[in-house]
């Protein structure tokens, strides 16, 4: 029900991104739910949410898989196999790889036996990452065409910044070792994407785990504890061959997305601190370069921690046909849709406000705004006022529905949106105009994580059982 049509010799996923766009509509999604930095001493868990409008349990959490430990900070998940293994009929997308950002555990979840009721398959303990790889704070997981699993890490075991990669065996999920060559780790780590046709992997930089663990201090940026580079790696030799300094406007580059066409030598990265999007591309010489293509202006404010408020771009996506770019401004509270038919000149075609820090009834007063004439009203869905701002986003395969959750990371949630930590985050759905562009909130869709059995929880990333545009890579 959740995988590609049977074709005899096919493995998981889809042959091409355009084939994926014709895949089945999502019926359930997996969402990590976090209790760290709340007042509730319970383990994080993986929620299974029903998103089938014809179902009797539509918009409900239908299963919860608690982890066996406290304060893990579950974050971004990946797969044991995806469309990069499509040509291998021996592979199945049946294990969800779930790294824990703070505890440095990696949970392997069995979603193949019963997709609607996942169960824990294996735990990779922090000591395996520490002693075998000298790494900690795992973040992004991608499956490789080889059948192995690769996980980017943000730090060393002492909490210092260190951008390296852990390889797991795709069958046993034992730690194999580092992907990068000895001595080639980047100063900081976070997200990554690879394109074998161009012999490249590009990784991004958040910051030193010890600096960001419990909140954000602007002084840590000045002290050099946050990153601002794209790191370029040779896919064949596993060597770091370039570091592209994006400058002050490129500080804290987070999610990185190549275009889905595996032949395309370009992509985009969202830089959080100053709300800028950079396009990176392969030059005629064969190396890589980057240019700023979108900048969200700061807003001059009072009643906030700083006199100017950035948008804080925290997640970006590209539609499977490489036509639209989406990103969330977690502080300003809006999601934007850009036409990237001309990648050097993205064109804003859709925008919707879903909470945020500048809502009209909040404590922040906007003194100067280069984009809006007035502060947006608070967003209320099915009687629930949205606390926090739009953060993680996930697009349906056909590009018509955008799912949104509001939690960024518990330490920063607690600092910037304490009301969300108390009341719980939400999951919303935005309808997308894929012809002319345009975003409209679905007023009938709400998953209220403030009503969970053990108390309000912080819901993070959305993942489909059959793969999606941020977890599948085509070769």
What confidence tier does 284 reach under pLDDT thresholds 50, 70, 90?
Answer: very high
Distance (Å, rounded) from C-alpha 304 to C-alpha 410?
Answer: 19
Among residues 234, 227, 145, which one has the least CA distance to residue 181? 234
List C-alpha distances in Å: 462 to 133, 281, 332: 29, 28, 21
Instruction: Report, as an integer, the average pLDDT of 224-241.
Output: 98
What confidence tier does 3 reach under pLDDT thresholds 50, 70, 90?
Answer: very low
Sequence-separated (6 or more) residues with CB below 8 Å from residue 251: 221, 226, 227, 228, 271, 272, 273, 274
CATH number of the domain where residue 348 is located: 2.130.10.10
* Between 282 and 5, residue with greater pLDDT: 282
Contact 364, 298 (CB under 8 A): no
The total of structural domains in the chain comes to: 1
Note whether residue 278 is domain-resident.
yes
What confidence tier does 7 reach under pLDDT thresholds 50, 70, 90?
Answer: very low
Collapse the DSSP code of 126 into the 3-class scheme (helix H, G, I; strand E, B; otherwise coil) and give the result: helix
Among residues 313, 300, 298, which one has the least CA distance to residue 392? 313
Note whether residue 455 is domain-resident.
yes
Contact 423, 384 (CB under 8 A): no
Among residues 78, 198, 3, 88, which one has the least CA distance to residue 470? 78
Collapse the DSSP code of 239 into the 3-class scheme (helix H, G, I; strand E, B; otherwise coil) and give the result: coil
Between the two ends of the chain, the Cα-to-Cα distance in Å is: 24
**8 pLDDT more than 80:** no
Strand-strand pairing, 380-381 and 334-339: unpaired
**221 pLDDT more than 90:** yes
**135 pLDDT more than 90:** yes
Q: Please provide the average confidence, as pLDDT, over all residues in the chain.
A: 96
Residue 144 is part of which domain span?
17-459
Distance (Å, rounded) from C-alpha 416 to C-alpha 330?
Answer: 10
Give, as one character, the DSSP assignment of residue 387: P
Note whether residue 464 is domain-resident.
no
Instruction: Report, as an integer, the average pLDDT of 62-79.
Output: 97
- pLDDT at position 5 is 40
Note whether residue 148 is domain-resident.
yes
Instruction: Report, as an integer, the average pLDDT of 246-253.
Output: 98
Sequence-separated (6 or more) residues with CB below 8 Å from residue 414: 37, 38, 215, 421
Query: Exposed, middle or buried by CB within 10 Å (0-12, 13-18, 19+), for 68?
Result: exposed
Note whether residue 8 is domain-resident.
no
Dihedral sign from CA coordinates of 239, 242, 248, 251: negative
Distance (Å, rounded) from C-alpha 64 to C-alpha 47?
Answer: 5
Among residues 65, 53, 45, which one has the least CA distance to residue 28? 53
- pLDDT at position 4 is 38
Taking residue 263's Cβ as centre, other Cβ atoms within 10 Å add up to 9
**330 pLDDT more than 80:** yes
Note whether residue 146 is domain-resident.
yes
% of the chain residues with pLDDT over 90: 97
- pLDDT at position 120 is 98
């Amino acid at each position: 029900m959740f995988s590609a049509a049977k074709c005899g010799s096919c493995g998981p996923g889809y042959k091409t991104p355009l084939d994926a766009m014709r895949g089945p509509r999502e019926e359930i999604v997996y969402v990590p739910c976090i209790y760290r930095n709340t007042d509730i001493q319970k383990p994080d868990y993986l929620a299974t949410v029903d998103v089938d409008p014809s179902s009797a349990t539509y918009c409900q959490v239908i299963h919860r898989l608690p982890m066996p430990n406290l304060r893990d900070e579950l974050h971004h998940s990946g797969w044991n196999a995806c469309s990069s293994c499509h040509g291998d009929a021996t592979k199945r997308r049946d294990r969800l790889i779930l790294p824990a950002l703070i505890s440095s555990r990696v949970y392997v979840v069995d979603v193949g036996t019963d997709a609607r009721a996942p169960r824990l398959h294996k735990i990779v303990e922090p000591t395996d990452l520490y002693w075998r790889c000298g790494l900690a704070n795992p973040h992004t997981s991608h499956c490789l065409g080889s059948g192995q699993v690769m996980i980017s890490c943000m730090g060393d075991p002492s909490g210092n910044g260190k951008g390296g990669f852990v390889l797991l065996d795709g069958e046993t999920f034992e730690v194999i070792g580092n992907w990068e060559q000895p001595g080639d780790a980047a100063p900081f780590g976070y997200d990554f994407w690879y394109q074998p046709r161009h012999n490249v992997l590009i990784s991004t930089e958040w910051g030193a785990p010890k600096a960001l663990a419990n909140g954000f201090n602007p002084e840590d940026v000045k002290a050099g504890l946050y990153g601002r580079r794209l790191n370029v790696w040779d896919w064949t030799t596993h060597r770091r061959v370039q570091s592209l300094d994006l400058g002050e406007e490129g500080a804290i580059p987070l999610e990185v997305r190549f275009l889905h066409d595996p032949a395309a030598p370009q992509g985009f990265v969202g830089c959080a601190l100053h709300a800028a999007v950079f396009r990176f591309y392969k030059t005629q010489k064969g190396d890589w370069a980057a240019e700023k293509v979108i900048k969200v202006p700061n807003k001059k404010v009072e009643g906030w921690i700083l006199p100017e408020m950035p948008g804080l771009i925290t997640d970006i996506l590209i539609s499977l046909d490489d036509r639209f770019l989406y990103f969330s401004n977690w502080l300003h509270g809006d999601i934007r849709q850009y036409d990237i038919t001309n990648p050097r000149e993205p064109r804003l075609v859709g925008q919707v406000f879903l909470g945020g820090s500048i809502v009209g009834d909040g404590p922040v007063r906007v003194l100067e705004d280069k984009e809006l004439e007035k502060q947006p009203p608070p967003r209320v869905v099915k009687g629930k006022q949205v606390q926090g701002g739009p953060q993680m986003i996930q697009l349906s395969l056909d590009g018509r529905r955008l799912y949104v959750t509001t939690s960024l990371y518990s330490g920063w949630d607690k600092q910037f949106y304490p009301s969300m930590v108390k009341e719980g985050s939400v999951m919303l759905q935005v309808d997308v105009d894929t012809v002319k562009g345009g975003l409209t909130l679905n007023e009938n869709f709400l998953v209220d994580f403030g009503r969970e059995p053990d108390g309000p929880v912080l819901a993070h990333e959305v993942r489909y059982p059959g793969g999606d545009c941020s977890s599948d890579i085509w070769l």
